[in-house]
Amino acid sequence: MIANYGYKDGSGEYYISIDTDKCIGCAADRACLTACPKQMFEIITDDYDDEVAWIKKPNCRTLAYDCADCKPSGGYSSLPCIAACTPGAIKHSW
Amino acid sequence: MNAEVAAAPTAPEKKEFWRWQENVWVDETKDWKTAKVVTCGIDVGSVSSQAVLVVDGELYGFNSMRTGNNSPDSAKNALQGVMDKCGMKLEDIHYVVGTGYGRVNVPFAHKAITEIACHARGANYMGGNGVRTILDMGGQDCKAIHCDEKGKVTNFLMNDKCAAGTGRGMEVISDLMQIPIAELGPRSFDVDVEPEAVSSVCVVFAKSEALGLLKAGYTKNKVIAAYCQAMAERVVSLLERIGVEEGFFITGGIAKNPGVVKRIEKLLGIKAMDTKIDSQIAGALGAALFGYTLMSKKAAA
Ligand code: SF4
Ligand code: SF4
């Protein structure tokens, strides 16, 4: 399943999508949990009883701010979450 | 289960324009007493609550009513309404699944499942296994969902930040215009020229903008049309992010408003699928069907 977390507002679209099929038996040892400096990822049991990553609820409303330090303007050339998730489950819309 | 569901008291409310039709229905052609498995889904949303009964995997009855101040009471009242209609007791129900924002506050539920999964499952039952894209227009949020032929979610998106442009917004416009909510859709087509969308569907801003348009000489119908158009544009932008596939189905209270639905169809160039079942019960129906699957799995194990 592709799960999109985030929002669209007057300033743009801010969604993080997670391909949760890749989280089942994660080949990266749940690296998203420790890679994110804001600790936005969490492992949950979804509606189909699979253990997958999601973005913590409060962060879903503040992604543009939460991720700002990791974006190129914050000096990063690649995002820590995307680099750590070697199965390639994570995508950012902005 | 042997706990009784006592109906919680509800305060009488005066008749208002925004008030939508509450509904209780049971399928008189079926007899739940001869059924092997009775399951129930309860959807406690921010604006409305529904209880759906499913017997042997088929829709049997439902109750749809406004959510009160307290989620457990709303869940109890919704269930009690439909049980009273068919002479059922809580102990006659084998499995209860809670969904909606108040799903964790359904005291007698065996399991809570998100409304995303439940709407997909409910839409699959209501529209058949050809349903692929679901737009749920609820009381305070909107969700875009893709599902497979079994009603399993393959992709979903909801706007987590702004609750604007939803059922609650329609209620506000209905009250402001002093026009019963069920008449908004038909009236929105009774205009000389189709107006531009209002610039904001935010409940607060839309109110002042609507009043401004009335002062500027817009008829009520034209203001409603501008609001329906704004709501349609907003949800279409949400849908476009995940894409729309054939087999397009709308759930939630706004599915009953042709003023919004027809404008969405026009913007997307695709027609929404029809159903004879009340669009507001999709989440609770999906929850009850999940309950049925869980019971069947248990029996097979
Ligand atoms: S997001 Fe990536 S790292 Fe995290 S659990 Fe899923 S596959 Fe593993
Ligand atoms: S961009 Fe940075 S803050 Fe945002 S999710 Fe990735 S690692 Fe976390």
Q: Which positions ≥6 away from B31 have C-beta within 8 Å?
A: none
What are the φ/ψ torsions at residue B26 (nearest 5 degrees)?
-135, 150
Report the pLDDT value the prediction gives residue A45, as an integer from 0 to 100.
95
Report the pLDDT value the prediction gives residue B169, as an integer from 0 to 100.
79
For residue A41, give the ligand 1 atom closest to its CA.
Answer: 4
Q: To probe the interface with A, which of B148, B157, B202 has the most A CB atoms within 10 Å?
A: B157
Q: Do B159 and A4 touch (CB under 8 A)?
A: no
Q: What is the 3-state secondary structure (H, E, C) of chain B?
A: CCCCCCCCCCCCCCCCCCCCCCEEEECCCCCHHHCCCEEEEEEECCCEEEEEEEECCEEEEEEEEECCCCHHHHHHHHHHHHHHHHCCCHHHCCEEEEECCCHHHCCCCCEECCHHHHHHHHHHHHHCCCCCEEEEECCCCEEEEEECCCCCEEEEEECCCCCCCCHHHHHHHHHHHCCCHHHHHHHHCCCCCCCCCCCCCCHHHHHHHHHHHHHCCCCHHHHHHHHHHHHHHHHHHHHHHHCCCCCEEEECHHHHCHHHHHHHHHHHCCCCCCCCCCHHHHHHHHHHHHHHHHHHHHHHC
Report the pLDDT value the prediction gives residue B265, as an integer from 0 to 100.
96
Q: Which domains does chain B have, with CATH numbers?
A: 23-129+280-300 (3.30.420.40), 142-272 (3.30.420.40)
Distance in Å, CA A51 to ligand 1 centroid: 10
**Among A69-83, B74-88, B167-181, B246-260, whose mean pLDDT is lowest?**
A69-83
Please provide the CATH number assigned to the domain covering A2-92.
3.30.70
Render pLDDT for A11-53 as a digit per residue (tens, 0 to 9). 888 999 999 999 999 999 999 999 999 999 999 999 999 999 9
What does the pLDDT average to over B129-150? 91
Q: What distance, in Å, lies between the first and last C-alpha atoms of chain A?
A: 21
| Residue among A4, A5, A79 to mutate when testing ligand 2 (max atoms within 8 A of CB) | A79
Render pLDDT for B203-252 as a digit per residue (tens, 0 to 9). 667 778 888 889 999 999 999 999 899 889 888 988 998 999 889 999 98
At B102, the pLDDT band (50, 70, 90 cuts) reads confident
Alpha carbons within 13 A on the beta-carbon side of B251: 33
Separation between Cα atoms, residue B119 and residue B190, nearest integer Å? 32
**Which residue(s) pair with A53 in the sheet?**
A43
ipTM of the complex model: 0.90
Whether the pLDDT of residue B149 is over 90: the answer is: yes
The domain limits of chain A are 2-92
Residue B222: closest CA among B177, B188, B260:
B188
Render pLDDT for B262-282 as a digit per residue (tens, 0 to 9). 999 999 999 999 999 999 999
In this prediction the pTM is 0.89
Q: Is A32 in the pocket of ligand 1 (CB under 6 A)?
A: yes
What does the pLDDT average to over B56-73? 88
What does the pLDDT average to over B58-65? 95
Report the pLDDT value the prediction gives residue B258, as an integer from 0 to 100.
93
Q: Which residues of A touch B (CB under 8 A)?
A: 1-9, 13, 15, 47-48, 57, 60-61, 93
Strand B48-55, strand A90-92: pairing: unpaired
Judge contact between B173 and B188, C-beta under 8 A.
no
Judge contact between B170 and B184, C-beta under 8 A.
yes
For residue B116, the distance in angstroms to the closest alpha carbon of chain A comes to: 9
At B4, the pLDDT band (50, 70, 90 cuts) reads very low
Q: Do B156 and A5 touch (CB under 8 A)?
A: no
Distance in Å, CA B235 to ligand 1 centroid: 30
